[in-house]
Amino acid sequence: MIIIPTIDMVATGRNIENLRKTAGFTVKELQEVFGFATPQAIYKWQHGTAMPTIDNLVLLAAVLQVKIDDILVVNDQLMQISA
């Protein structure tokens, strides 16, 4: 058995929304920071239907003044690996 970490997308999305609100940003303001034409990507992140790309995750952490680890919610799953 091996422990495999997986990202909980829904919990991470809720975390992104909470961190955004705590930092005092609106969705519109984040949209402008990222240069997105629409806010859809940010709503998808917050609803857990999509994850930010690595470069967007780095920028998001910088904007929210947190570490990437503070954004991601990771669960450990036991998995059997056959050799």
Here the CATH number for the domain that contains residue 56 is 1.10.260.40
Per the structure, the complete domain to which residue 53 belongs is given by 2-79
User: Which single residue is written with the structure tokens 């990507």?
Assistant: 41
Reduced to 3 states (helix: H, G, I; strand: E, B; else coil), residue 61 is: helix
Contacts of 32 (CB under 8 A, 6+ apart): none
Q: How many domains does the chain have?
A: 1
**What is the CB neighbour count within 10 angstroms for residue 15?**
19
Gap between the Cα atoms of 6 and 77, Å rounded: 7
This prediction has a pTM of 0.88
Task: Select from 55, 72, 56, 69 the least CA-distant residue to 16.
Answer: 72
Q: What is the pLDDT along the chain (83 residues), one digit of tens a residue?
A: 788 889 999 999 999 999 999 999 999 999 999 999 999 999 999 999 999 999 999 999 999 999 999 999 999 877 777 66
Amino acid 47 reads: H
